[in-house]
């Protein structure tokens, strides 16, 4: 009768059934069979040596066993479960929880210290930082590398590097150690040490699959599987492949590798002075039975790892990084400065338009260019113009210096005769009293409104001159209001010095000689209509004047509007140029990332072998691209603002826009994601076996 324990022990840890592996075959490449009809069962706790000459398929077998490669045919059962049914993430998890790889070439990350190299698998397994650090330190110390924690692989001997890689294999438990020619590159003494270590691990309950071409090395295993030309020639424990009633070692119970008490440490084997007892890993430290995929801790640890690696990569290739950054910086800074300059000059023009009144046009009669008498703008003309739909107001103006007096005060004063809409047209308010009305204008009412300075001149001591009679020329006008102070904003003429009378009263009582207004102020309904309004006025007057162009229209508003539009399109063009330079910066990022990925192919292979998922690799390279563009973007914002301030100090009108600054920055960041994605995706898709074989 078979007990539950015995039947669970009877399931091999690893079982290969009729396994084949070909290379080539596709795209007309010659098909080479590397593994042929492999049947192999390995039980927990076994120490198996796979021995065979070079090229016999050992490494290929190991890659398949370690889930770095897939068989072409046949089955691979891990603890009875068909591995071909696992997806990429599950395979990654199996790799990091079950396997520890030891390679002939060590495959350590050259830029990382021994301590960091050992910790790598635990980062992907989600072990907390402190626990990870402590365990890696313990492992390295036990492997006699306690004084080499901070050394990089280049500063370690071959034997030391191989021990670092063994410590890394043990980091997540190393339930199954897959060692491919671990002594192949070592001197005899270091080889000896590594072999003793592997034997100790086997004694401690680890399952060891040792691959070697050296029969002497293989002799140290408990079981030897001979392989030649992709076929298994002999198996010293052939019975275990077929006879399930014969589980190999009771010591190799599945729990043994997880226990924390050292009970399965070396027993019965002569102690080796250099190698202390190895403790099995602690399950609570390892967290390997909690799905770490949704663990924010893992995410943060990986992010930190990715940032650290990115920072290192940037520093290592300082010149290349600097040039790429320069591209981004120029792009971002120029977007910011160009848009600020554009906005500044636009605002300047708009400011001018505001000061002049963006809807105001001036017109008057003139001599026609074709010759002939000066034109006449009649009352009927003005009424016709007032009826045009584009126009809000049509305000005829007559103005001249006239002798004005009150009591003893007298002077030549500019007398402005215009329609009642004057305050509205000039956006001007009455301070005291009131302005005259349109009906007063029509009724030739003899009333006058004083500018601020004129009030002070004629009525220096009189707070309220309303109701007083002012003598303008020879006519008497009653003061009915005082305009608010306007300030010297209107060029040559000082409106504050003037007095204002109704147009009709002015023509009848002051300017009797005038047959027409000096000029006409036209207010267009909206600034968008100024050009159209000018056209309508021209058409109307030409029709009324028999086709003679005996008038002129001063359309400052239209000129300014055109200028503002020209500057708008210039801003757009500058912005486009700047955006293109940002794009060029982005292409630089992509270029650098593609180079980085191809330079670090082996690193990617190592990461995958230690349990990184595709998305971990993708994330790492995206983080690198992002770090590049975020720092470039930030530096670009800084430079843009500094350049802008210098330009401001040099007198260039310039207005920073927060939208442009944030926009440029986020464009840079998005550029990093977009242009970093393809290289990162390439990295994540790399075949781990090919990647490991890269230089």
Contact between 19 and ligand ADP per CB under 6 A: no
189, 159 contact by CB (below 8 A):
yes
Contact between 212 and ligand ADP per CB under 6 A: no
Contact between 392 and ligand ADP per CB under 6 A: no
- Cβ-in-10-Å burial (0-12, 13-18, 19+) of 370 comes to exposed
Q: Looking at the DSSP assignment, which residues form a beta bridge with residue 178?
A: 101, 209
Contact between 57 and ligand ADP per CB under 6 A: yes
Produce one character per residue of 156-195: b if its CB has 16 or more CB atoms within 10 Å, e if not. Answer: bebbbbbbbbbbbbbbbbbbbbbbbbbbbbbeeebbbbbb
**Pairing relation of β-strands 360-365 and 499-502?**
unpaired
**From Mg ion, ligand ADP, none, which one binds at residue 121 (CB under 5 to 8 Å depending on kind)?**
none
Window of 51-59, 256-264, 448-456, 539-547 that interacts with ligand ADP by CB under 6 A: 51-59
| C-alpha closest to that of 480 among 507, 505, 511, 517 | 505
Contact between 646 and ligand ADP per CB under 6 A: no
- Of the pair 59, 527, the CB lying nearest Mg ion is at 59
Closest approach of ligand ADP to the CB of residue 32, in Å: 5
Window of 49-57, 202-210, 291-299, 504-512 that interacts with ligand ADP by CB under 6 A: 49-57
Binding site for Mg ion (CB under 5 A): 59
Window of 47-55, 216-224, 348-356, 525-533 that interacts with ligand ADP by CB under 6 A: 47-55
| C-alpha closest to that of 581 among 368, 207, 326, 366 | 326
Contact between 58 and ligand ADP per CB under 6 A: yes
Window of 55-63, 184-192, 368-376, 564-572 that interacts with ligand ADP by CB under 6 A: 55-63
Contact between 55 and ligand ADP per CB under 6 A: yes
Exactly one of 5, 18, 32, 110 binds ligand ADP (CB under 6 A); that residue is 32
Residue whose entry in the numeric block shows the structure tokens 């180079």: 595
The whole-angstrom separation of Cα 99 and Cα 172 is 8
Q: Three-state secondary structure along 602-622?
A: HHHHHHHHCCCCHHHHHHHHH
Closest approach of ligand ADP to the CB of residue 213, in Å: 7
Please say whether the dihedral angle defined by the alpha carbons of residues 40, 232, 191 and 249, taken in this order, is positive or negative: positive
Exactly one of 4, 26, 54, 245 binds ligand ADP (CB under 6 A); that residue is 54
- What separation in angstroms does the CA of 623 have from each of 545, 629, 676? 75, 10, 9
- Of the pair 24, 354, the CB lying nearest ligand ADP is at 24
Dihedral angle at the C-alpha atoms of 643, 645, 651, 657, nearest 10 degrees?
A: 90
Instruction: Give the residue closest to Mg ion by C-beta.
Output: 59
The whole-angstrom separation of Cα 251 and Cα 69 is 30
616, 302 contact by CB (below 8 A):
yes
The whole-angstrom separation of Cα 69 and Cα 688 is 8
Window of 54-62, 391-399, 591-599, 614-622 that interacts with ligand ADP by CB under 6 A: 54-62
**From Mg ion, ligand ADP, none, which one binds at residue 34 (CB under 5 to 8 Å depending on kind)?**
ligand ADP
Window of 50-58, 90-98, 192-200, 544-552 that interacts with ligand ADP by CB under 6 A: 50-58
Contact between 60 and ligand ADP per CB under 6 A: yes
Contact between 331 and ligand ADP per CB under 6 A: no
Which residues of this chain interact with ligand ADP, rule CB under 6 A?
A: 23-24, 32, 34, 52, 54-60
């Amino acid at each position: 009768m078979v007990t539950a324990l015995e039947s669970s022990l009877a399931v091999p840890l690893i079982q290969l059934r009729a396994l084949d592996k070909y290379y080539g075959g596709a795209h007309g490449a010659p098909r080479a069979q590397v593994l042929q009809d492999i049947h192999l069962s390995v039980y927990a706790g076994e120490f198996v040596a796979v021995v065979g000459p070079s090229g016999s398929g050992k490494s290929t077998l190991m890659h398949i066993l370690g889930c770095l490669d897939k068989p072409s045919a046949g089955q691979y059962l891990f603890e009875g479960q068909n591995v071909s049914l696992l997806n990429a993430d599950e395979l990654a998890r199996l790799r990091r929880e079950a396997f520890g790889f030891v390679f002939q070439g060590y495959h350590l990350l050259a830029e990382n210290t021994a301590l960091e190299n050992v910790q790598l698998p635990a980062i992907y397994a989600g072990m907390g930082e402190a626990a990870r650090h402590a365990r890696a330190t313990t492992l390295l110390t036990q492997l006699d590398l306690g004084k080499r924690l901070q050394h990089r692989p280049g500063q370690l001997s071959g034997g030391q590097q191989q021990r670092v890689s063994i410590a890394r294999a043990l980091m997540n438990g190393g339930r199954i150690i897959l060692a491919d020619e671990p002594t192949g590159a070592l001197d005899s003494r270091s080889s000896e040490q590594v072999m003793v270590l592997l034997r100790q691990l086997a004694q401690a309950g680890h399952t060891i699959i040792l691959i070697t071409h050296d029969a002497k090395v293989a002799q140290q295993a408990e079981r030897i599987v001979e392989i030649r030309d992709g076929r298994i020639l002999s198996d010293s424990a052939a019975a275990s492949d077929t006879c399930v009633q014969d589980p190999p070692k009771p010591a190799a119970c599945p729990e043994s590798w997880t226990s924390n008490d050292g009970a399965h440490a070396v027993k019965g084997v002569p102690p080796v002075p250099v190698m202390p007892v190895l403790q099995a890993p602690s399950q609570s430290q390892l967290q390997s039975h909690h799905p770490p995929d949704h663990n924010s801790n893992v995410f943060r640890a990986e992010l930190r790892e990715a940032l650290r690696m990115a920072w290192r990569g940037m520093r290592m290739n300082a010149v290349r990084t600097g040039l790429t950054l320069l591209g981004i910086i120029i792009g971002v800074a120029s977007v910011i400065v160009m848009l600020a300059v554009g906005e500044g000059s636009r605002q300047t023009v708009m400011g001018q338009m505001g000061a002049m009144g963006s809807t105001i046009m001036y017109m008057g009669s003139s001599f026609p260019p074709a010759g002939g008498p000066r034109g006449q703008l009649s009352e009927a003309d003005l009424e016709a113009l007032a009826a045009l739909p584009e126009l809000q107001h049509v305000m005829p103006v007559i103005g001249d210096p006239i002798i004005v007096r009150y009591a003893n005060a007298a002077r030549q004063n500019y007398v402005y005769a215009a329609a009642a809409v004057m305050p509205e047209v000039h956006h001007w308010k009455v301070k005291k009293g009131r302005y005259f009305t349109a009906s007063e204008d029509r009724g030739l009412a003899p009333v006058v409104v004083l500018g601020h300075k004129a009030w002070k001149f004629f009525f220096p001591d009189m707070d309220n001159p309303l109701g007083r009679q002012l003598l303008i020329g020879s006519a008497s006008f009653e003061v009915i209001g005082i305009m608010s102070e306007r300030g010297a904003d209107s060029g040559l003429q000082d409106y504050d010095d003037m007095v204002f009378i109704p147009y009709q009263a002015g023509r009848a009582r002051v300017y009797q000689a005038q047959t027409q207004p000096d000029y006409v102020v036209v207010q267009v309904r909206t600034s968008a209509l100024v050009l159209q309004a000018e056209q309508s006025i021209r058409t109307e007057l030409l029709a009324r004047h028999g086709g003679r162009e005996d008038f002129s229209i001063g359309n400052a508003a239209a000129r300014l509007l055109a200028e503002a539009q020209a500057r708008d399109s210039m801003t757009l063009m500058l912005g486009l140029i700047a955006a293109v330079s940002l794009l060029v910066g982005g292409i630089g990022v992509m270029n650098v990332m593609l180079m980085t990925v191809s330079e670090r192919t082996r690193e990617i292979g190592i990461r995958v072998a230690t349990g990184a998922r595709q998305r971990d690799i993708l994330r790492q390279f995206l983080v690198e691209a992002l770090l590049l563009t975020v720092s470039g973007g930030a530096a670009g914002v800084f430079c843009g603002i500094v350049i802008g301030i210098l330009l401001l100090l040099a007198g260039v009108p310039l207005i920073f826009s927060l939208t442009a600054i944030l926009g440029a920055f986020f464009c840079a960041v998005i550029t990093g994601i977009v242009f970093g994605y393809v290289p990162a995706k390439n990295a994540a898709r790399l075949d781990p076996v090919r990647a490991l074989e890269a230089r």
